Structure 1
Amino acid sequence: MAPPQGQMRPGRQLAVLGLIFVVLYLLVFFSGGASGGWKDRLEPRLGLDLVGGTRLTLEATNSVDGQAQAPTNENLEEARRIIESRVNAFGVAEAEVVTEGDRNIVISLPGENRDLTEVGSAAELRFRKVLKVADGSGAAAAPAPSPTATPSGSASPAPSGSATPSPSSSVKATPSPSGGQGGGAPAPSASATPSATPSAAAPSPSGSAQPVAADVQEQRKAVEQKVGAAAWAAASGLQAPADLTTDPSLGEKLKPFASLSPREVAVLPAQMQFNVPQITCAQLDARPPASISTPDQQVVSCEDGALKYLLDQAKVLGTDVDDASAVLDQTNQWVVSLDFTGPGQEKWTNLTREAFNNEGQACDATALGDTGKCRVAVVLDNDVVSSPEIQGVLTGNSQITGNFTQRDASELAGQLRYGALPLTFEAAESQNVTATLGASHLRAGLLAAGIGMLLVIIYSFFYYRLLGSVIFLSLVLSALLVFGALVVLGRQIGFTLTLAGIAGMIVSLGVAADSFVIYFERLKDEIQEGRSPRSAVSRAWVRARRTIISANAITIMSAVVLYIVSVGAVKGFAFALGLATVLDLVVVFLFRHPIMTMFARTRAFLSPRVSGLGRVLPARTEQAKTRNPRVKEA
């Protein structure tokens, strides 16, 4: 016989809840990504503040007409995507890259402390001929005293203040024909040794002949005022690196340039950066990102912090590279293999032809290698990665080789493969969280959650007695659902539990407690109005259900809005709060109501001392006596 209309079958709802638990924990233990022992499969994905790691905040530094401007949302999102690809190329897992505000990108790498500043570099690759080489260590700016001041019988000349630059052999680039397309040309050498003294030949056309932006002109004027008119005039008149041994007074005139900041050095003309010995590689290497990114101007850059290069216009760009990968060469050394696009390959061939033939004698004696051929510098952002001598016209692809570790080669290949960032960034904040501190945070969060749940349970048993067991079981079931969901979501969508997420779950305990209070107080009202406990359970549920749904819906909507408009940890708080609230509604409908229906059929539910209804049942009995004197006490 079918049950009366409107009569519920609590067994069915409890069976549905049981089915949900079975499916959820099958996913926990056997879904994709589940590995290790049973304990390992039960571990959720924890955030940086719980397991330690690295957090880096990058701030976009773009400006228009000298004024800082917020980047567009499209550029910021493109930069975030490229940076995320670079971080993932390191071979690490569980990295989180998010935008924050209108100009920041936050990188979080849980469980690992490492330097992430390079992932925010512009990664603008340029291939430029080396036109001149000079000392950039600063030794040339402080010539030795005159030998006449030494009372020695032998007139040994003092060392020259002009140091002999020699390229470092620790990192080198070896363009090599790919697939036998070298046309028989010998492999280029990386052991370039420039001449002993800088050439005094007429300089190549300066990149400063190009139009200069108005904001750069203003900054140059400010630098001119800082160093003084005499220093500026002396630096502007230099046609080659200053030799202070022949004119010691020139060193005093140029001395103010040593006090310039890297940002101030960056706005100087390329010839001035190269010719003034007081401008060192330490200043040049610290220039803001993308200071030499303009491809159609000559620039100055350093290699290994000691050699200062005057570089030609960029004839081959990073956009001409089709792919880059870290591979092992025939000598079992890590190299970065470059594959050019069709037009890029033609540009690369033309550049190697210019360098091999030293067309127009553009490279002076200081920039030539052992065999008298020009060198080509591989320039990444502001730095020279390597500068090999070109010993043949190359018609194939190339390799950047050197003392690379696998991590170094993979990092460089990732930067080149995923392209240049549309924005320039500076590291605004870098933080390393130790695993010990993360474990302390985790214990504190779990302790706070445990205390919160314990207080709710104590109050529930004290005030509602038997009904408190319903609250207790509901909270336990909600916690198990939330925990299983966290494990599965961590594997499927990368959700990471942080301290903020634990805080959101603790707040959800209050939301769950509110729904209990609404239902139980509504139940008391129904009994006081003269209904039996069994009928009061169903009527109280119907009347309280709308209020419970409305209250939880408001919480869920608030969590959704907060998740959309917030970033970082706040987003994790909103997600956890919304998830816990949704699962609490599942427990309300599939456990709390059916279990109350089953309790209403027991004798214990009719006992004031056991049920937790307190004085409601005796008051109802007295009302019944008043209406009908023959009614006995329950």
Structure 2
Amino acid sequence: MAPPQGQMRPGRQLAVLGLIFVVLYSLVFFSDASGGWKDRLEPRLGLDLIGGTRLTLEATNNIDGKPPTAENLEEARQIIENRVNAYGVAEAEVVTEGNRNIVVSLPGENRELTDVGSAAELRFRKVLKAADGSGAVAAPAATPSAGATPTPSGSAAPKPSGSAAPKPSGSAAPKPSGSASPKPSGSAAPKVTASPNAGGQGGGAPAPSASATPSAPASPSAPAATPSAAPVPQSVADQRKAVEQKVKAPAWAAASALQGPADLAADPSLAEKLKPFGELSPQEIAVLTPQMQFNVPTISCAQLDKRPAASIKDEKQPAVACEDGAVKYLLDVAKVVGTDISDANAVLDQTSAWVVSLDFTGDGQDKWTALTREAFNNEGGACDQSALGQDGKCRVAVVLDNEIVSSPEIQGVLTGDSQITGNFTSKDANDLASDLRYGALPVTFVPQTQQNVTATLGDSQLRAGLLAAGIGLLLVVVYSFFYYRLLGSVIFLSLVLSALLVFGALVVLGRQIGFTLTLAGIAGMIVSLGVAADSFVIYFERLKDEIREGRSPRSAVPRAWIRARRTIISANAITLMSAVVLYIVSVGTVKGFAFALGLATVLDLVVVFLFRHPIMTMFARTRAFLSPRVSGLGRALPARAAEQANPRNTRVKEA
């Protein structure tokens, strides 16, 4: 027989709750899960519970060593925190320490964090000249006359590292990719080349092979096509003066007189004079002018590659950098920079290789088009014969911090976006895209110490916290059975179901969004128990009031639910709003507390609607519910029985 219209069907709501459990724990055991059943039930734990890695970054503004401003340090902290969170790691602690340091703490073992402090300053610079960067004192083959095509062994001659050929309109040809040889690094990073997207005008010529060798560097008498240097800060000038004293006056005078790469084979005495520059440290090399770094052949790429971070940060000044560890480039001012990029994403290209796709801003796209036009036409003859690619066009170096990641030859005026391509893994491409997407750091960082942190303190605190939570939960259950008796079983079962829902959600969220459980999160869940207990008291006391007013238990249950429901929803809504606000305005572990509190509150509402009310409706239909000793309704039922025995005293009739 079908129930009357409007009557509740508790079986349906319990079935919905059961379906939620089936779906949730199917995700727990089978979605992105590995290992045994125990491993699949483990949530992600935070630094305070399982330990992790802590990295200290020391910040300086420039090579002058001055501390950064408080505003720049805070901006850098926020960018680093965004980079860390983009790795899929939640509950990361990124805090400032003093006026120079930022401390990054991440849960988990053996994490490599040094990359999060990279400046990620992207610059696009024309290659004006190329020269040998081996630092040899006498290398006749490394400095041929202009216009020759050298074929020395090793890496004395510069090699083009890709091409930026546009794709003809309507063509199905794939985007050209660079073909530079990898540049070795201490971190074993993959080789990277740049390949601007197809677009605009141009012949769509193929990229030069990695073995192509451009012409030799210009003769010493060739004028340097670089703008005049800006005023030097006093501290840098002092360091430069100290370097001058170290190399002695004859060497400094000889280096200052050079107008191009010195031909040591033609003047052996010059090689002896310039020899002291090969003994300078990378820090000392960094304070020299770009012209001196490029023109002095005894200054090697080994020295230039190890310069301090931000050594070529100023986009308004020319710079010197190396590619392949042995080719030295004199670079023009940067006419397109990282702020001209609106977005960066790691994607798969047509060959299923990982690349970093760059989307320019409106102004940035105009600058990029203008730069490719200038390079394609070699306006003003700025690019020396030594710097031209295989097809006689200027190249544009993609410079990330102090490193040239690629220098493609520009074979057309490009009006589309660009890609940075190379032997990327998915992680490498996503890490680089994340660095570029969140912007360059306003402060230069030098990693100081990275250490593994044990969870000894966290273990003891966890045991103490779980013990406190267990004792508190036990007291709630004992009191519930003592005061509400049969209704106490509803409280107990509701808390168990809420705990199972919260636990399953923690495991799934840990895998999907990187949520990490910390001591603060456990505290948030314990606080949510109080909110859940309050909702029981509201409902049960309202039920007693309805029975005292003369209604039978069966009719009192739905009426009490309707009247208590608003109060329960309001109380939980206030808690939820508090958790949301706290999550938005807080940082670090406080976010974990707010997230756990909000999650437990939402799931408690699910249990209230899909379990507590349906099970109470089912209990109201049993005989035990009518017994004061069993139901826990106490004096409400005897008062109801007395009114039924003496109808004259009945003031309220059943609805």
State the TM-score, normalizing by the size of structure 2.
0.59
For 1:476, what is the secondary structure of its paired residue? helix
Q: 2:239 aligns with which of 214, 223, 228?
A: 223
Please state if 1:404 is matched with 2:423: yes
| Equivalent residue letter for 1:305 | G
* Deviation string, structure 1 residues 308-348 (Cα, Å, up to 9, x no partner): 3222334565648999865356xx98777889946633531
Is the alpha carbon distance of 1:232 and 1:443 closer, same or farther for their aligned partners in structure 2, counting shifts above 3 Å?
Answer: same
Residue 131 of structure 1 and its aligned partner are, at CA, apart by: 1.2
For 1:571, what is the secondary structure of its paired residue? helix
For 2:440, what is the secondary structure of its paired residue? coil
Q: Is the 8 A contact 2:44 2:515 kept in 1?
A: yes
Is the alpha carbon distance of 1:604 and 1:343 closer, same or farther for their aligned partners in structure 2, counting shifts above 3 Å?
Answer: closer
Q: Is the 8 A contact 2:125 2:396 kept in 1?
A: yes
Q: Is the 8 A contact 1:48 1:54 kept in 2?
A: no
| Cα root mean square deviation, aligned | 6.7
Residue 270 of structure 1 and its aligned partner are, at CA, apart by: 1.2
* Deviation string, structure 1 residues 25-75 (Cα, Å, up to 9, x no partner): 4763799x99589989x9797467689998888888668995512447997
Is the alpha carbon distance of 1:519 and 1:427 closer, same or farther for their aligned partners in structure 2, counting shifts above 3 Å?
Answer: farther
Q: 2:164 aligns with which of 175, 188, 191?
A: 175
Q: Measure the CA separation in 1 of the matches of 2:92 and 2:612.
A: 39
Residue 300 of structure 1 and its aligned partner are, at CA, apart by: 0.7
Equivalent residue for 1:345? Answer: 369
Q: Is the 8 A contact 1:457 1:472 kept in 2?
A: no
Is the alpha carbon distance of 1:78 and 1:56 closer, same or farther for their aligned partners in structure 2, counting shifts above 3 Å?
Answer: same
Q: Is the 8 A contact 1:273 1:300 kept in 2?
A: yes
Q: Measure the CA separation in 1 of the matches of 2:348 and 2:569.
A: 56
Q: After alignment, is 597-606 or 299-308 more displaced? A: 597-606
Equivalent residue for 1:235? Answer: 252
Equivalent residue for 1:210? Answer: 229
Equivalent residue for 2:269? Answer: 246
Q: Measure the CA separation in 2 of the matches of 1:583 and 1:419.
A: 34
| Equivalent residue letter for 1:131 | K
Q: 2:327 aligns with which of 290, 302, 307?
A: 307
Is the alpha carbon distance of 1:176 and 1:20 closer, same or farther for their aligned partners in structure 2, counting shifts above 3 Å?
Answer: same
Equivalent residue for 2:412? Answer: 394
Residue 571 of structure 1 and its aligned partner are, at CA, apart by: 0.8
Q: Is the 8 A contact 1:172 1:402 kept in 2?
A: no
For 1:394, what is the secondary structure of its paired residue? coil
Q: Measure the CA separation in 2 of the matches of 1:574 and 1:441.
A: 22
Gaps of at least 5 residues in structure 1 are 1-10, 89-93, 143-161, 527-533, 618-634
Equivalent residue for 1:126? Answer: 124
Q: Is the 8 A contact 2:358 2:418 kept in 1?
A: yes
Mapping for residues 236-275 of structure 1, pairs under 5 Å: 238=255, 239-240=257-258, 246=269, 250=273, 254=277, 257-258=280-281, 261=283, 265-275=285-295
Please state if 1:284 is matched with 2:307: no
Is the alpha carbon distance of 1:555 and 1:257 closer, same or farther for their aligned partners in structure 2, counting shifts above 3 Å?
Answer: same
Gaps of at least 5 residues in structure 2 are 1-6, 140-151, 172-200, 546-552, 636-655
Equivalent residue for 2:182? Answer: none
Q: After alignment, is 50-59 or 471-480 more displaced? A: 50-59
Mapping for residues 181-580 of structure 1, pairs under 5 Å: 182-183=202-203, 188=208, 190-193=210-213, 199-207=219-227, 209-212=228-231, 217-224=233-240, 226-227=242-243, 229=245, 231=247, 234-235=251-252, 238=255, 239-240=257-258, 246=269, 250=273, 254=277, 257-258=280-281, 261=283, 265-275=285-295, 280-287=300-307, 289-314=309-334, 319=340, 327-328=349-350, 341=365, 344-354=368-378, 359=381, 363=384, 367=387, 376-387=396-407, 390=409, 394-395=412-413, 404-405=423-424, 407=426, 410=429, 414=433, 418=437, 421=440, 423=442, 426=445, 454-456=470-472, 459=475, 466=485, 469=489, 471-483=491-503, 486=506, 494=513, 496-500=515-519, 502-504=521-523, 507-508=526-527, 511=530, 515=534, 559-560=579-580, 562-580=582-600
Is the alpha carbon distance of 1:380 and 1:115 closer, same or farther for their aligned partners in structure 2, counting shifts above 3 Å?
Answer: same
Is the alpha carbon distance of 1:186 and 1:457 closer, same or farther for their aligned partners in structure 2, counting shifts above 3 Å?
Answer: closer
Q: Measure the CA separation in 2 of the matches of 1:183 and 1:80.
A: 42
| Equivalent residue letter for 2:493 | L
Q: Measure the CA separation in 2 of the matches of 1:399 and 1:585.
A: 49
Equivalent residue for 2:156? Answer: 166
Q: Is the 8 A contact 1:173 1:400 kept in 2?
A: no
Equivalent residue for 1:117? Answer: 115
* Deviation string, structure 1 residues 388-429 (Cα, Å, up to 9, x no partner): 5x5x85345798798624549845984798585374564768
Q: Measure the CA separation in 2 of the matches of 1:339 and 1:553.
A: 42
Q: Measure the CA separation in 2 of the matches of 1:266 and 1:320.
A: 28
Is the alpha carbon distance of 1:315 and 1:223 closer, same or farther for their aligned partners in structure 2, counting shifts above 3 Å?
Answer: same
Q: After alignment, is 586-595 or 271-280 more displaced? A: 586-595
For 1:246, what is the secondary structure of its paired residue? helix
Q: Is the 8 A contact 2:52 2:105 kept in 1?
A: no
| Equivalent residue letter for 2:515 | T
Q: Measure the CA separation in 1 of the matches of 2:449 and 2:9.
A: 51
Q: Measure the CA separation in 2 of the matches of 1:595 and 1:322.
A: 53
Q: Is the 8 A contact 1:52 1:432 kept in 2?
A: no
Is the alpha carbon distance of 1:334 and 1:250 closer, same or farther for their aligned partners in structure 2, counting shifts above 3 Å?
Answer: same
Q: Measure the CA separation in 1 of the matches of 2:419 and 2:624.
A: 81
Is the alpha carbon distance of 1:371 and 1:514 closer, same or farther for their aligned partners in structure 2, counting shifts above 3 Å?
Answer: closer
Q: Is the 8 A contact 1:175 1:400 kept in 2?
A: no
| Equivalent residue letter for 2:120 | A
Equivalent residue for 1:3? Answer: none
Is the alpha carbon distance of 1:18 and 1:441 closer, same or farther for their aligned partners in structure 2, counting shifts above 3 Å?
Answer: farther
> Identity over the aligned pairs, expressed in percent?
37
Q: Measure the CA separation in 1 of the matches of 2:477 and 2:341.
A: 72
Mapping for residues 139-154 of structure 1, pairs under 5 Å: 139-140=136-137
Is the alpha carbon distance of 1:108 and 1:446 closer, same or farther for their aligned partners in structure 2, counting shifts above 3 Å?
Answer: closer
Q: Is the 8 A contact 1:165 1:196 kept in 2?
A: no
Q: Is the 8 A contact 2:13 2:614 kept in 1?
A: no
Is the alpha carbon distance of 1:167 and 1:506 closer, same or farther for their aligned partners in structure 2, counting shifts above 3 Å?
Answer: farther
* Deviation string, structure 1 residues 193-241 (Cα, Å, up to 9, x no partner): 467888422441555x2323xxx51221341354364647543651445
Equivalent residue for 1:154? Answer: none
Q: Measure the CA separation in 1 of the matches of 2:356 and 2:536.
A: 66
Residue 512 of structure 1 and its aligned partner are, at CA, apart by: 6.3
Q: Measure the CA separation in 2 of the matches of 1:594 and 1:500.
A: 34
Q: Measure the CA separation in 1 of the matches of 2:77 and 2:467.
A: 41
For 1:131, what is the secondary structure of its paired residue? strand
